[in-house]
Amino acid sequence: MKIRIDWGDDLIGRYPYDYGVDIWALGCTVAEMLSGDSQDLHQIPSSISDDAKDLMGRCLARNAAQRWSADELLEHPFLSVG
């Protein structure tokens, strides 16, 4: 699965923004941490787990209304403990 990391519409001034920009930033941070590359990250790395890919896809949805909330992300299998 390839998910392209694009700027969300709310991040480029097309729409008002809210906490969704923080969720997008979290997805970018996780992608950078797992890939080890903060300079040229345009796609979610293929070498990471399916749960990690799914989490980043939910954080990096271009449409802010489709991004998961912080509460939803806390229930995601990638972040679950035990």
Q: Is residue 1 part of a domain?
A: no
Q: Is there a domain that residue 3 lies in?
A: no
Q: Is residue 26 part of a domain?
A: yes
Count structural domains, the chain: 1
Report yes or no on 2 lying in a domain. Answer: no
Average model confidence (pLDDT) across the chain? 77
In a domain, 65, yes or no: yes
The neighbour count for residue 1, using CB atoms within 10 Å, is: 8
Q: Is the residue at 64 inside a domain? A: yes
Residue 4 resides in a domain: no
What is the C-alpha separation between 64 and 82, in angstroms, rounded? 30
DSSP characters for 21-52?
A: HHHHHHHHHHHHHHHS-SSS--B--TTS-HHH
27 vs 18, higher pLDDT: 27
Q: What is the CATH number of the domain that holds 29?
A: 1.10.510.10
Tell me the pTM: 0.73
pLDDT at 46 (0 to 100):
78
**Residues 44-74: pLDDT tens digits?**
777 888 999 899 889 988 788 889 999 999 9
